[in-house]
Every structure is written in C-alpha cells, then in structure tokens.
C-alpha cells in the first residue's frame, strides 16, 4: 500500500501523526506529521537525521519502502487548533536540530500536536540505562565494572532529567 492510499484509507487530516517502524528491525517508533494536500500532493514533515523537513516525493517513496505504518496518532482539537498545530510544524522547518535523545521525531510530533516536546522513548531509554547501570554497579566485583555501571546510571539519570526539564 502506498502512503497516498494510506492517507485516503485512513482519512488523515492535517496535524495527524503516522507512527511507523522500520521493516525487519522495528525497535523505535518514527513519526511523520501529515500537513495536508498542497499543489495536488500529500505533504508530510518529519524531524530526522537530515533535520526538520517537508519530505519530497522521492523521500516519501523511500520511506514507504523501508518503514511500515503501525498506528495513527490523531490530532485532538478543533479546526483552529489543528491549523495552529500545522503552523507549529512549519515553524521548525529546515532546522538542523535532530538529536536521538534530546530532540528526536517523537519530541517533534508531541511539539506539533501538544505544544510541548517530549519523548516516551527517551524516558524509557533513560530509565533502562539508570536501572541497568545501578544493577551492574551493585553486582560487579571489579572497580572497572562498578565504574561502567555507575557511568551508565549517571547517563540514564541525566537523560531523564533533561527529558523532564523540557516539559
């Protein structure tokens, strides 16, 4: 199924987010924001390694070939709020600020839909690193193992602190 067929079949509206996973791997969710139809074409914007950009037809085709939609996160609000969400999406256009932990595609999707950047995936990562690090530090008999565990725990806690400070 093409992305265009997906849009029509699911009656997407501007501000809706499509959550996709990479085929065969599927560890992380990726988010595309649907902007609507412009000049007869479906337009999407995403924050990814190339920055926050409206995806070209070729990029969408490539995306469709490597990622599969898993769910739709509908924008909740009236038409005026939906227009404000699209304006927020476009306000970050062409920014080169992608960061896997600090400003990923989920941060961007939440900023667009709710006005606040946040990432559940980043919180899960931070919690996992902190817990694993503490377990490694507590169970290790060597100073190297304790140091690695402590460093992991600190990284996890810092990630959580940064994520919470953005809200």
Higher pLDDT, 134 or 96: 134
Please name which of 47, 54, 159, 63 lies closest in space to residue 97, comparing C-alpha atoms.
47
Mean local confidence (pLDDT), 12-35: 87
Mean local confidence (pLDDT), 142-162: 90
pTM for the predicted model, two decimal places: 0.80
pLDDT exceeds 60 at position 166: no
Tell me how far the alpha carbon of residue 83 is from its chain's centroid: 21
Higher pLDDT, 145 or 56: 145
The token duo for 29 is 């969710």
Q: How far apart are alpha carbons 21 and 66 in whole angstroms?
A: 9
Instruction: Tell me: do 88 and 131 sit in the same domain.
Output: no
pLDDT exceeds 90 at position 137: yes
What is the count of structural domains for the chain? 2
Residue pLDDT, tens place only, 119-136: 888 888 889 989 999 999
Question: Which residue range is the domain that position 68 belongs to?
Answer: 3-98
Instruction: Tell me: do 17 and 70 sit in the same domain.
Output: yes
54 within some domain: yes
117 within some domain: no
Helices (H), the chain: 3-9, 57-66, 79-91, 105-114, 120-139, 143-165
Q: How far apart are alpha carbons 85 and 113 in whole angstroms?
A: 6
DSSP 51: E
156 within some domain: yes
């Amino acid at each position: 199924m093409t992305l265009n067929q997906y849009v029509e079949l699911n009656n997407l509206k501007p501000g809706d987010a499509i959550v996709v996973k990479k085929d065969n791997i599927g560890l992380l969710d990726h988010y595309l924001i649907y902007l609507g139809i412009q000049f007869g074409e479906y337009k999407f914007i995403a924050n990814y390694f190339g920055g926050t950009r409206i995806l070209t037809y070729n990029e969408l085709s490539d995306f469709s070939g490597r990622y599969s939609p898993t769910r739709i996160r509908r924008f909740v609000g009236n038409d005026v709020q939906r227009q404000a969400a699209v304006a927020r999406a476009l306000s970050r256009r062409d920014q080169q600020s992608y960061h896997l932990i600090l400003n990923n595609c989920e941060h961007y999707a939440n900023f667009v839909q709710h006005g606040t950047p946040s990432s559940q995936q980043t919180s899960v990562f931070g919690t996992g690193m902190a817990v694993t690090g503490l377990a490694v530090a507590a169970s290790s008999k060597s100073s190297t193992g304790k140091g690695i565990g402590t460093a992991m725990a600190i990284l996890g806690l810092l990630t959580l602190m940064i994520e919470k400070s953005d809200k």
